[in-house]
Amino acid sequence: MRPILWDQKGLLLLDQRLLPWKEKYLRFKTPAQVKQAIKKMVVRGAPAIGITAAIGLVLGAERIKARSKKDFLAKLKRIGESLKSARPTAVNLAWAVDRLIKVAQSEDLSVDDIVSRLRQEALKIWEEDIEANKAMGRLGAKLIPAKASVLTHCNAGALATGGYGTAIGVIRAAFEAGKEIEVIADETRPWLQGARLTAWELKKVGIPVKISPDGAAGSLMAQGKVQAIVVGADRIAANGDVANKIGTYSLAVLARENQVPFYVAAPCSTIDLATSTGKDIPIEWRDEKEVLCCVKKRIAPRGVSALNPAFDVTPNSYISAIITERQVVKAPYEENLAKAVEA
């Protein structure tokens, strides 16, 4: 299951808008095209769009015509800033672009050598993400009971990462360790990432999965049908507040009420120590048509408008633990997240 491919002709992305009905890869050759792919949800998920943006920056670097190295770096920065504006909430996007810009500025290299180093660094980010996902899986699997129904929200699997998964990676690792796992996937309106993507992924790897309406989660917890909740993250503030797909905050509140452990799985690149609390995280609002329509068909009366925040923020007090590739972090988050990042 490879959502991202990169060859001599450019970038190939599995078009996630078409799943589960059709598996089709689209070709992208310029950073402007890559930016649109991110904005239009061809690719989504914080780690995946970070990797994609890094490759997009390399594609741009390969095309820059510059009078000097200084001119090259100035143009490279402009491309990077444009890519970073594609989606504001997921910090991995900016983190990956800034990491490549730092490489370009860090050494006394020729322009050709800089482009070569940027390619290497983008591939390194990709490889590191897959390894981080697997490490998260090993650590997080220990938190899952031997027999459990695990609820997850949105899609934090291979499609949202370099190829294994954060929250789904934890579930996969628990299943591979022999635990008797069943997954309840929230449908996750309005893009239905749970129904379309998470269920598709889990079916591919043979993990039992049932789809549930978003509004049924509290009732299922009250009936004892959920033993753990594992979700991903798009940005984690220094104090442990977590921005994730809209609906995550509601799940966390319901989990507290029903005494169900609520875990967040994300790489350290998703931890933004420069953002003090969740109140400082920019929340992306998307086109109201995504709510008013389903599969391109309008489901609401004409003349009715909609609210469409793409993310919400879950306060740290509702989070049982944050699973990173380095350690399982628990409260006090402000102290322990900083240690995890610096480890």
Distance CA 197, CA 110 (A): 43
For 210, phi then psi, to 5°, come to -125, 140
Rounded to whole angstroms, what are the CA distances from 315 to 240, 250, 256? Answer: 7, 11, 12
Distance CA 180, CA 147 (A): 5
Rounded to whole angstroms, what are the CA distances from 277 to 240, 264, 272, 335? Answer: 7, 16, 10, 13
Token pair recorded at residue 74 = 């100035």
Three-state SS across 210-224?
A: EEECHHHHHHHHHCC
Distance CA 93, CA 91 (A): 5
Other beta carbons within 10 angstroms of residue 301's beta carbon come to 7
The residue written with tokens 């635990």 in the block is 179
234 carries an active-site annotation: yes
Residue pair 245/280 in contact (Cβ under 8 Å)? The answer is no
Nearest alpha-carbon partner for 263 in 328, 340, 339, 173 = 328
Largest interatomic CA distance in the chain: 68
- Spot the catalytic one: 186, 234, 241, 312: 234
The H-or-E segment that residue 170 falls in is helix 167-176
For residues 43-58, one letter each, b for 16 or more C-beta atoms within 10 angstroms of the residue's C-beta and e for the rest, the string is bbbbbbbbbbbbbbbb
Catalytic residue set: 234
